[in-house]
Structure 1
Amino acid sequence: MQNKAKVFPVSHIVGFVLSLVMTFAAAWVALKTFYSFNTIMMIIGTLAVLQAALQLTMFMHMNEGEDGRTQTINVVYGIFVAIVIVAGTVWVMSIGMHTHH
């Protein structure tokens, strides 16, 4: 048996600091820049996706364990299902809006 206990969780501290940096960067872009609305939303969305990936790997240990590949496949499948549901909902609602004047 191996003892995997660490004295100081360096990866958790690094993940926390990087998450804070991304959060403050998104707030700064939203409040202190004069970019167009679409550009601001694109930057914030990109930072949100990066932060979600960071938290999955640093805090939820997605890539650790005996079979980290299965966990990764499950997360990718969950993201795919969420995208299909959102895109399908927008598609159906936009068609319904055009057919019912």
Structure 2
Amino acid sequence: MAHTHTESSDFPHVTVRGYLIGFVLAVVLTVASFWSVSSGAFKGESALVALAVLAAIQMIVHVVFFLHVNASKGQRWHAMSFAYTIAMSLVIIVGTVWVMHNVHMLMMAR
């Protein structure tokens, strides 16, 4: 019997073209980050916001093009676990900064 290969929509279709697009986008975003810092295009808090936006975009590029997490039926649990990880990381980071800020303010009050 011949074994036939049927393509399933549960698994992402991986191509060299997809990897190359992801690689080029990652390099462009990395160069943009280094350029924005080294050229002094942004000052103060706007530099932090610009770097955070570029980092978030680069994270999305990596998740989509290299980890192949998408909204297809077979990938929904992966996407949901990734979203949960991001949410919990934000809770931990924001909570830590909030506590540290309050402790600093209380120490300065004395």
Instruction: Name the TM-score class by shorter chain.
Output: 0.7 to 0.9
Deviation of residue 32 (structure 1)?
Answer: 1.3
The number of equivalent residue pairs is 100
In our comparison, the structure showing a higher alpha carbon Rg is 2
Deviation of residue 65 (structure 1)?
Answer: 6.8
Structure 2 gaps, min length 5: none
Q: Which string of whole-angstrom CA distances, capped at 9 and with x for unpartnered residues, describes residues 31-88 of structure 1?
A: 1134212112211110110000110010011127752111111111100000000111
**2:27 aligned partner:** 20
Aligned partners of 1:75 and 1:97: how far apart in 2? 33
Aligned partners of 1:34 and 1:43: how far apart in 2? 10
2:92 corresponds to 1:85: yes
RMSD across aligned positions (CA): 2.3
Q: Give percent identity, aligned residues only.
A: 25
**1:48 aligned partner:** 55
Whose RCO is larger (CA < 8 A, sep 6+)? Answer: 2
Q: Which runs of 4 or more aligned residues in structure 1 lie more than 4 Å from their structure 2 counterparts after TM superposition? A: none
Q: TM-score, normalization: structure 1? A: 0.84
Aligned partners of 1:13 and 1:51: how far apart in 2? 14
Structure 1 gaps, min length 5: none
Mean Cα displacement is larger for which, 66-75 or 12-21?
66-75
2:66 corresponds to 1:72: no
